[in-house]
Amino acid sequence: MANRLRVTALISLAMLNACTLGAGVAVAGLLPARLALWNIPRVATAPVAAPGQVLRPAQRSGPLPTSGGLSSALTPILASSALGSHVGVVVTDPASGAVLWSSGARSPTQPASTAKLITAVAALTVLGPGARFTTRVVAGATAGSIILVGGGDPTLAAGPPPASDYPQPATLKSLADATARSLRARGRSQVQLSYGTSLFTGPLMAPGWTTGYITSGNTTPITSLEVDQGRLTPSGAPEDADDQDNFRPRSFTPAADAAGAFASFLEAGGISVTGPVAEGAAAENRGAAGAAGAGAAGAGAAGAATIAAVKSPPLSDIVGMMLRESNNVIAEDLARQVALHTHAPASFSGAATAVTSVLASLGISGIHLVDGSGLSPDDRVTPTALTSLVALASGTAHPRLRSAITGMPVAGFSGTLAPGQSVFGHFRGPALGVVQAKTGNLDTVAALAGLAYDQQGQVLAFAFMADQVPPASLAQAAAAIDAMATALAGCGCR
């Protein structure tokens, strides 16, 4: 009986194998003959090609547009009533500085946020693209006391931001974790905390600023210690996200909010904070480190030992963030860093004077500022000054300024030139991807300054500024300026 079962099993297996082989032959016969030509992918043995330069310096690559051609392209748009009665326009060849066409180019005009280009160039000139800003914790004057010292880092966050945020900022949580480790190593589990903001001086609001700038989510009072540029969640906590669409009121007490968040992180790390957290004695920290990583002058409270520190992203990344977002708090902090590094008071007036002086040393005039962001209606800049600094930053003589160009929004794709991100962004085909510029707008101001590639392949610098826009016509004025940028990119203008 066992032998019979074994024979039956062997016969069944043989029949199954025969059927499988037959099916395989049948399917193979149905396959197209060309499948026999398939090649298995292989990794190439050739060396990886090095990438070329993404953004070349502004050099002449084609025939320049003529004055008559530019006039024909731009004059009809300039006639738009939405632009108001005071409009300045200039188009230049950035390689040579030659003015190709202009109208009102030397007339002082409210720049709005195009002033951030000025702040960017000044900061990169003085500090260099690799500069970083340091937030520290130092030992206080009494045993068991510590001071959180604001270093003017405009990108400092409270807790970890989303991984998608770029650049990734230093955080108070990281600083608190390092502080807690250091304190525990010294056998201390309890501290008294204060905070220092003496790096910056003067009023917290610039001339011409109103509290409406804070309640509308445009800025926070300017201090050397703040987190998330004063942005808050609906519950009033630091937002911990680079949320450009957060137009909720920002913090009126950014330094105290930052210190409170730091205290909470210390408590979570096992360090008890006793007593009230208040602003302490003067504690200076100049805060910036150059590309080589050497710290600048200053050291917390006089003679105080550093317990822990965190550093910001490099200035080149911060400049890009400021320009893409039109971030007012970043602009004001960077202007003060220019003041500190030129030995001027780190106040609104001191920073404005320092920035203007740096630009004058580069040969650029026609600038009168009272802040670093362009929020103040008292700022005045000529269109000629804007195109001059665009040419300076895009040329070959000052490579450390390049992030002032690469950081600007790109028409139709990024920052405030992306659709729906500002009153600008209504570009047609010729401008998409080939206009790179800084926007600026206030209630009666619309401005755009940057670079455009025209149809002949020539790089052109331009500034279009209108600061007497009729009430309720801002969107139409911005659309007219978008149309001028589109016309500039879309014509050979011969």
Task: Yes or no: say if 104 and 383 are a contact pair by the CB < 8 Å rule.
Answer: yes
Burial of 394 per CB tally in 10 Å (0-12, 13-18, 19+) = buried
Closest CA to 133 of 183, 176, 175: 175
Take residue 208 and report the two structure tokens written for it: 């011409």
Sorted by sequence, the CB contacts under 8 Å of residue 488 that are 6+ apart come out as: 70, 73, 74, 91, 431, 435, 452, 454, 460, 462
- 113 part of the active site: yes
Take residue 336 and report the two structure tokens written for it: 């003060």
- 182 part of the active site: no
Which of the following is catalytic: 80, 102, 116, 224? Answer: 116
**CA–CA separation, 243 vs 232, rounded Å?**
10
* DSSP class of 111: -
Which of the following is catalytic: 80, 251, 264, 326? Answer: 326
Which of the following is catalytic: 80, 102, 113, 198? Answer: 113
**CA–CA separation, 213 vs 414, rounded Å?**
24
DSSP string, 405-473: HHTS-BTTTSGGGSTTSSS-----GGGTTTEEEEEEEETTEEEEEEEEE-TTS-EEEEEEEESBPPTT-
Closest CA to 436 of 410, 413, 459, 402: 410
Task: Yes or no: say if 287 and 199 are a contact pair by the CB < 8 Å rule.
Answer: yes
Sign, Cα dihedral of 210, 215, 216, 220: positive
Determine the 3-state secondary structure of 137 from DSSP: strand
**CA–CA separation, 484 vs 247, rounded Å?**
29
Determine the 3-state secondary structure of 62 from DSSP: coil
Burial of 174 per CB tally in 10 Å (0-12, 13-18, 19+) = middle
Determine the 3-state secondary structure of 187 from DSSP: coil
Closest CA to 335 of 443, 224, 220: 224
Which CA distances in Å does 6 have to 16, 18, 212?
16, 19, 93
- 311 part of the active site: no
Which residues are annotated as catalytic?
113, 116, 326
